[in-house]
């Protein structure tokens, strides 16, 4: 049996900032465990669609073609299936990952030629598919179209633990996935919290399921010895939820002499965790990533963070006391944000010594924030699909989700940055960028390409993104 996996172009990142496609790598690992001949085609590396199609056509006898990823892969997935129709491919196809679970209604309407869709864990589904092929309609865990109707098969059984997960096929990834000797590693899936801006709105709360540490450590050994990795980034959503496991990992990774970074919730650390944090530091952990989001209690409630600034302050103090670095994330211009809440957050950040910037609130498909935004603005299916074909970065102002006009929001953003940071930071991270954007808009206006600077176009309704 032969299966093609196509890693799609991720338009949220450039070709020089590759990140391992963990979902597809997990699928590949399961297929290889079953001795399936696997053809890995990395469009995100190739960046030449003609070459991608040439590689697919060399394996026109394949039994299955699988692809998927985050919602930012949607434009490429649409292009890929258009090309498959043009060459009259007869390979059965399946799309999975967050793009399938969050915008399946868009995929079924706008991606012609897609045979199957999977919105659950992909590993048991592909195992069922290789058992049922060529009669893939009988496989559990898939959706497919029949006589104009979408048929939803019963779900495939999902493992309560990930202990049986095989090692990932890292050899498929070129050195571009290990920039500056940095490796990215998945040791578990899921988060028991449901922040309004983050999770799939309709899905039940997930438990944090972990991969066996023996398997994890074999991945660490490979990265260090075979790829020369010096720093490791653990991409689990909530690595420190299982503190005893984190302690064991720290002891086992210490002999490798590498730096590593992990994730935690800001309100889950107490004074009794200080010895653990010091052990993490001793083993090479140099920083913990924490989603703080805002210092405004009102905005924390709107985000459904189930956290308050006082508990976050406790965790910040403990992380620093252990000698660890803190890499926080903050969100600006969330729905309901105003000058009072924004400045409240800035004052709190200055109090705890967390300077820098923030991400702009961005509605990601599947989140409660996205679903509320689409509903409130009355987007048609075509308008929603047009939005998804654009790449919206959280570092830039793309969509105004507040009640303030754009000019007022941008003015507030500048005020917050100037109140929070020294002049040199604002010059390097804000002033130069704004001046360049203004000059680009003026140049476009003189060339007749626009009747108004881009920053003045009102959002959020299409076509004014």
Give residue-wise pLDDT tens across range 5-41.
Answer: 999 998 766 666 799 999 999 999 999 999 999 999 9
- The CATH number that applies at residue 122 is 3.40.50.280
pLDDT, tens digit (0-9, with 9 covering 90-100), for 194-219: 899 987 766 767 788 999 999 999 99
Does one domain contain both 189 and 295?
Answer: yes
CB count within 10 Å of CB 124 equals 19
pLDDT of residue 395: 64
**Mean pLDDT to the nearest integer, 50-76:** 95
User: Is 269 contained in some domain?
Assistant: yes
Let me know if residue 394 belongs to a domain.
yes
Q: How far apart are CA 247 and CA 285, in angstroms?
A: 11
Q: Is residue 274 part of a domain?
A: yes
Q: Could you tell me the two tokens for 369?
A: 């924030």
Query: Are residues 341 and 319 part of one domain?
Result: no
| 82 and 123 part of one domain | yes
135 in helix, strand or coil? Answer: coil
Say whether pLDDT at 434 is over 90.
no
Alpha-carbon span 21 to 405, nearest angstrom? 38
Q: Are residues 107 and 233 in the same domain?
A: no
Which pLDDT score is estimated for 190? 87
Are 324 and 385 found together in one domain?
no
Percentage above 70 pLDDT, the chain: 93
| Residues 410 and 302 grouped into a single domain | no
Give yes or no for a contact between 160 and 209, defined as CB atoms under 8 angstroms apart: yes
**Residue among 265, 246, 263 at smallest CA distance from 194:** 265
pLDDT tens across 93-117, in order? Answer: 999 999 999 999 999 999 999 999 9
Which pLDDT does position 462 carry in this prediction?
33
Cβ 142 vs Cβ 118: under 8 Å: yes
- For 184, phi then psi, to 5°, come to -110, 135
pLDDT tens for 379-401 read: 999 999 998 887 666 566 778 99
306 within a domain of the structure (yes/no):
yes
Spell out the residues 6+ positions from residue 313 whose beta carbon is closer than 8 angstroms to its own.
352
Query: pTM of this prediction?
Result: 0.89
Domain ranges, residue 45: 2-152
Q: What is the CATH number of the domain that holds 276?
A: 3.20.20.70
The percentage of the chain sitting over the pLDDT mark of 90, rounded to a whole number, equals 77
Number of domains in the chain: 3
Residues 137 and 225 in one domain: no
Could you tell me if 143 and 227 lie in one domain? no
What distance separates the 2 farthest-apart alpha carbons in the chain?
65
Question: Are residues 255 and 200 part of one domain?
Answer: yes
197 lies in the same domain as 310 = yes
């Amino acid at each position: 049996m032969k299966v093609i996996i196509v890693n799609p172009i991720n338009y949220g990142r450039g070709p020089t900032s590759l990140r391992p496609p963990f979902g597809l790598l997990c699928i590949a690992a399961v297929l290889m465990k079953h001795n399936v001949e696997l053809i890995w085609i990395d469009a995100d590396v190739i960046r030449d669609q003609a070459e991608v199609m040439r590689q697919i056509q060399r394996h026109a006898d394949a039994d299955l073609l699988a692809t998927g990823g985050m919602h930012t892969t949607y434009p490429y997935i649409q292009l890929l299936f258009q090309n498959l129709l043009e060459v009259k491919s007869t390979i059965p196809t399946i799309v999975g990952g967050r793009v399938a679970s969050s915008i399946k209604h868009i995929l079924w309407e706008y991606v012609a030629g897609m045979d199957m869709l999977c919105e659950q864990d992909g590993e048991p589904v592909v195992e069922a598919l290789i058992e049922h092929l060529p009669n893939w309609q009988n496989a559990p865990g898939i959706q497919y179209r029949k006589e104009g109707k979408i048929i939803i098969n019963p779900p495939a059984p999902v493992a309560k633990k990930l202990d049986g997960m095989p090692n990932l096929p890292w050899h498929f990834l070129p050195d571009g996935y290990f920039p500056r000797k940095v490796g990215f590693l998945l040791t578990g899936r899921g988060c028991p919290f449901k922040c309004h801006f983050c999770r799939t709105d309709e899905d039940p709360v997930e438990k944090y399921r972990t991969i066996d540490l023996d398997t994890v450590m074999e991945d660490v050994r490979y990265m260090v010895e075979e790829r020369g990795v010096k720093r490791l980034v653990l991409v689990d959503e909530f690595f420190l939820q299982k503190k005893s496991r984190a302690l064991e990992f720290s002891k086992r990774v210490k002999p490798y002499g590498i730096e590593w970074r992990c994730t935690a919730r800001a309100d889950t650390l107490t004074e009794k965790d200080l010895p653990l944090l010091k052990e993490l530091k001793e083993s090479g952990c140099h920083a913990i990533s924490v989603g703080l989001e805002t210092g405004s209690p009102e905005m924390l409630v709107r985000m459904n963070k189930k956290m308050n600034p006082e508990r976050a302050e406790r965790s910040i103090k403990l992380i620093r006391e252990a000698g660890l670095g803190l890499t926080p994330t903050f969100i600006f211009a969330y729905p309901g944000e105003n000058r009072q809440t924004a400045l409240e957050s800035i004052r709190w950040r200055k109090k705890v010594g967390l300077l820098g910037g923030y991400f702009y609130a961005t509605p990601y498909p599947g989140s409660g924030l996205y679903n509320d935004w689409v509903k409130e603005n009355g987007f048609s299916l075509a308008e929603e699909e047009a939005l998804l074909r654009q790449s919206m970065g959280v570092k830039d102002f793309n969509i105004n989700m507040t009640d303030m006009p754009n000019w007022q929001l941008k003015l507030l953003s500048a005020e917050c940055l100037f109140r929070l940071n020294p002049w040199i930071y604002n010059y390097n991270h804000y002033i130069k960028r704004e001046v360049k954007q203004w000059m680009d808009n003026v140049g476009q206006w003189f060339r007749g390409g626009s009747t108004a600077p881009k920053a003045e176009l009102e959002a959020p309704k299409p076509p004014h993104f």
